[in-house]
Amino acid sequence: MELREVLDKIDGYRGEMVDTLIDLCKIPALGPTSGGEGEIKKAEWFQNRLESLGFEVERCDAKDERVPSGIRPNLIVRYGTGRDRLWILSHLDVVPAGDLKEWPCDPFNPVVKDGKVYGRGVEDNGQACIASLFALRALKDCGIQPARQLILTWVADEEVGSYYGAQHLIREGLVRKGDWVVAPDWGVPKGNEVEIAEKNLLWLKFTIHGKQVHASIPQKGINAHRAGADLICRLDRALHEKYTAKDRMFSPPPSSTFEPTKKELNVPNVNTVPAEDVFYFDCRVLPRYKNKDVIATVQTQVRTIERRHKVKVNVELLQNESSPPTTAKSQLVFAISKAIKAVKKMDAKVVGIGGGTVAAYFRRAGVDSVVWSTGEETAHSTSEYCRIDNMVSDSKVLAALALNR
């Protein structure tokens, strides 16, 4: 009976949820590495909205001298009592709009069309910001206490590493072992997949040093570009031949991936043998493998290239992250699966993904964390939208999770 009352209350908020989402996403919140001033204006607007609804807002801001305000804001609202705690973490920052000509609207003046809200940040992560807020409001308006203390947080910096957001909360000791963390920041259209694991992330930068000469006398130089091309091919072959395991929980693809990606300019003209060549690899490695073993495989190929081409190769680790999965048998996975079943009438499926999320930081800290939402997979695109039905449904699932005893 409690759940039915809360779900009906959320249905009654539908129009207000849409209006709040539009108002929130009218405020750009780009980090300084994306040319923005941070999230402060958006956070202050949202804090005023929370306080107008009767919620007491805590701040756990991180210092950042790169933005005019000097801080990256993190908002926290607590509801209920009890030693056990459930965190629902959404983020305020967004990515740049991209090519404005490709948008169906002004990206920072969202519009409603055919049951969807179009605009930058409406799905990533405005949908979660609003869904979590109105799940909390429904509990409060119904006078119903959650099964665990419910802690909602709206953080900064998720799009560029979370150092000033989720990681800041962890460094400050706010999240502890035994807590549950849900990040509604990834999902599929059915809303029945719960992310419990991520591939290890390994980004590598390769710089090959040779000797520059005129292209008509290549024998007097050392072609860094040729050595780099040879290294790319050898790495591609060696990594795919050695790390062949598949894990069907990860899809798509169910295997590790090793992709040569960025390539920097070497020389500006055609008739010069380059002395330096720079390229990058993006590796997403199944958790059964260790990044250090992948790096050892890479170094073996590097030494071969150095001997064969008489070059020097520097390898720089740009990203080297791994995290243990949240076990599929955890109480958190059981609880959110039960909430999905109660609201959506479908069985949940646990999955792993190749992309990195904030959940990895909590898992490394020993805190069970899952990523879940009902998503249309339009994040970061120039046609980003939030399906209104998804936002309302997600709010109901989060409320049902909070009531799960």
CA distances from 291 to 276, 315, 321, 352 (A): 27, 14, 8, 17
The dihedral built from the CA positions of residue 117, 123, 125 and 130, taken in this order, carries a sign that is positive
pLDDT at 226: 98
**Alpha carbon separation from 168 to 93, 150, 162, 256, 367 (Å, rounded):** 15, 19, 8, 30, 15
* 253 Cα distance to chain centroid: 18
pLDDT for residue 372: 98
Q: Is the pLDDT of residue 308 over 90?
A: yes
**In this predicted structure, what is the pLDDT of residue 184?**
97
Query: With pLDDT > 70 as the criterion, what percentage of the chain qualifies?
Result: 100
> How does pLDDT run across 118-173, given as a tens digit for each residue?
999 999 999 999 999 999 999 999 999 999 999 999 999 999 999 999 999 999 99
Which tokens in the block code for residue 225? 């570009």
405 pLDDT above the threshold of 80: no
Residues 144, 49: contact at Cβ < 8 Å?
no
pLDDT at 193: 97
Residue 303 has pLDDT above 90, yes or no: yes
Question: pLDDT: is 321 or 123 the higher one?
Answer: 123
User: For the segment 228-244, what is each residue's pLDDT rounded down to a tens digit?
Assistant: 999 999 999 999 999 99
Beta-carbon count within 10 A of 42 CB: 25
Alpha carbons 52 and 226: distance in angstroms, whole number: 64
d(CA 337, CA 9) in angstroms, rounded, equals: 22
pLDDT value at position 252?
Answer: 82
CATH number for domain 200-321, candidates 3.10.20.340, 3.30.70.360, 3.40.50.300, 3.30.70.20: 3.30.70.360
- Mean pLDDT for the chain? 97
Residue range 2-186+357-403, CATH number: 3.40.630.10
pLDDT at 82: 81
At residue 404 the predicted structure's pLDDT band, cuts being 50, 70 and 90, is confident
Contact 211, 222 (CB under 8 A): yes
Residue that the structure tokens 């330096």 belong to: 276
* Alpha carbons 353 and 348: distance in angstroms, whole number: 16
**Residues with a known catalytic role:** 93, 158
| Interval 337-345 mean pLDDT | 98
Residue 192: pLDDT band (50, 70, 90) is very high
As a whole number, mean pLDDT of residues 56-61 equals 98
pTM of the predicted structure, to 2 decimals: 0.90
Domain ranges of the chain: 2-186+357-403, 200-321
Please compute Rg for the chain using Cα positions. Answer: 24
What integer pLDDT is reported at residue 251 of this predicted model?
81
So what's the pLDDT on residue 359?
Answer: 96
The predicted pLDDT at position 1 comes to 80
User: How far apart are alpha carbons 218 and 309 in whole angstroms?
Assistant: 13
Contact 192, 349 (CB under 8 A): yes
pLDDT confidence of 262, banded at 50, 70, 90?
A: very high
3-state secondary structure the chain: CHHHHHHHHHHHCHHHHHHHHHHHHCCCCCCHHHCCCCCHHHHHHHHHHHHHCCCCCEECCEECCCCCCCEECCEEEEECCCCCEEEEEEECCCCCCCCHHHCCCCCCCCEEECCEEECCCHHHHHHHHHHHHHHHHHHHHHCCCCCCEEEEEEECCHHHCCCCCHHHHHHCCCCCCCCEEEECCCCECCCCEEEEEECEEEEEEEEEECECEECCCHHHCECHHHHHHHHHHHHHHHHHHHCCCECCCECCCCECEEEEEEECCCCCCCCEECCEEEEEEEEEECCCCCHHHHHHHHHHHHHHHHHHHCCEEEEEEEEEECCCCCCCCCHHHHHHHHHHHHHHCCCCEEEEECCCCCHHHHHHCCCEEEECCECCCCCCCCCCEEEHHHHHHHHHHHHHHHHCC
pLDDT band at 355 (very low <50, low <70, confident <90, very high): confident
| pLDDT for res 229 | 98
